[in-house]
Structure 1
């Protein structure tokens, strides 16, 4: 019987699958490649060096933590050379979809003959809600597993191609992708659109995520920063970010608030939110990357839904 390897999107799911009596070994992909600079050659020395520098600088991730949590797991993946059936467990959101592309790109280079299948959660019932894997019951997870999607060589080539574009220095090439429907990635189109909206808008220099945070601050009137965090985590659309990511975004917007207890925008914060003035010059960071592109070298036009190079 052929051997089986599961690659999951996080520790919570790994623990659950471990208790569910699934055949095969389980490895966790511990990265958040939707943030910071990425290079196309997943797993190379320069790739991990670039990732560590970003995580260390922006999230105070120590070298020992990075080695223990990310690199050890990656080395374990490298050592699983015999498994010729690989099951990927990822979700509909940007966070997961970008990690998924990177893993498939790595598999394309390093596991050429593996049979790859995908378990991907999202639309699971008649409602508009999109579900993460951990929101589903064990029965539903097993159902998705039984009906997992087989990835053809074309699907694998396409995922690798989108990853190359994500890592390129020009996001406009991603914007011109129109053939998502020809491949087995139901949520990739939405994730890529969400990614492009992370470039600063022409209107006020803030991107969709930053504007959404300010808008929630006004609309929901949270009493504390923690309440603001909980509100945005529940209402973030296709991003799939965690609290540490939003903590970091809030800290860059801090000058636009007079208080976080209760949460109140300053006069300037309100003017920027209303598009009366731009925050671009204040928030611009010449070292901020989204994939392979410098975040502040491009602007997003919300009216035409197009990216412009500065």
Structure 2
């Protein structure tokens, strides 16, 4: 089993999995598959181009379109060669981010007629509270999970296609059906879908759940990015599907609203995304007095 392909999400989880002493190589999948333009299943060139543009925009230009496009091409090339491996093991969390990604990867593998796949999905680990994901585990802890992997059944592959279609098309009816399933072949999908439905704008205030949590944290006096992150993380129910980049995007979006709901002060008018020469410690965020007014309009995200 030396020729094994381990697929996971998140650089931290990928790095620690590579250090866990397990046979094979690690592929870290990078994409936000619960949101943005795409088609179900294996993407064509137009779909990849649209996703690269979307990801560049949602990171406020923190990553350019071309580097993102090359990353997408590279991971699909690797997935297309998955049949050459003796074993394929998928390592994923129970959260929205991972479950949408897991459904897509399973769908793509099935389209390539690759059916011999094992899955290891985790929503808890002894001694770690709250548990938000595999990235919290040390290499030795990850290694202890390896024997709990299970073969992916035909039923699970078929169900994954339905889930991938729901996220690709943003089908509200299909979302509701999935969220209400009592027993799903991928047991964490209903909760993940329900969490995504909470991100849709609330008719009363125009905010999704993560935006509302961020605004509440800022309104309570948390003014640094770090303290806002900690406050939102403690208020949200685990597993946490979002990371710092997603939260900074939401805060930037609150500042881009009409009227703006927060004011960002620092070396730039918006929080930096991805790698930047700017330090987050130099930024302060304050809630504006009009934050309780109905939101009439949202500006397009800026390309910074």
TM-score, with structure 1 as normaliser: 0.79
When residues 22 and 218 of structure 1 are mapped into structure 2, their CA distance, relative to the original with a 3 A threshold, is same
Question: CA separation in 2, counterparts of 1:143 and 1:19?
Answer: 13
Deviations 1:135-187 (A, max 9, x none): 1233432222111132210011101111112222431221122335141x232
- Equivalences, count: 276
Question: Unpaired segments of 5 or more residues in structure 2?
Answer: 266-282
Deviations 1:45-85 (A, max 9, x none): 23212211212333223244224433223212223331252
Match of 1:105 in 2: 107
1:163 aligns with 2:179: no
1:80 aligns with 2:95: no
1:84-99 matches, cutoff 5 A: 84-99=86-101
Match of 2:9 in 1: 9
Match of 2:117 in 1: 116
1:166-177 matches, cutoff 5 A: 166-177=167-178
1:180-259 matches, cutoff 5 A: 181-183=183-185, 185-219=186-220, 221-233=221-233, 235-237=235-237, 238-254=239-255, 255-258=260-263
Q: CA RMSD in A?
A: 2.6
* SS of residue in 2 equivalent to 1:176: helix
Question: CA separation in 2, counterparts of 1:282 and 1:151?
Answer: 45
* SS of residue in 1 equivalent to 2:90: strand
Do 1:180 and 1:188's aligned partners in 2 also have CA atoms closer than 8 Å? no
Do 1:258 and 1:265's aligned partners in 2 also have CA atoms closer than 8 Å? yes
When residues 213 and 18 of structure 1 are mapped into structure 2, their CA distance, relative to the original with a 3 A threshold, is same
1:282 aligns with 2:287: no
Match of 1:152 in 2: 153
Question: CA separation in 1, counterparts of 2:182 and 2:141?
Answer: 26
* SS of residue in 2 equivalent to 1:56: helix
Deviations 1:175-221 (A, max 9, x none): 122335141x23222111110011111221111111111111223x1
Deviation at 1:29, TM superposition (A): 0.9
Match of 1:268 in 2: 290
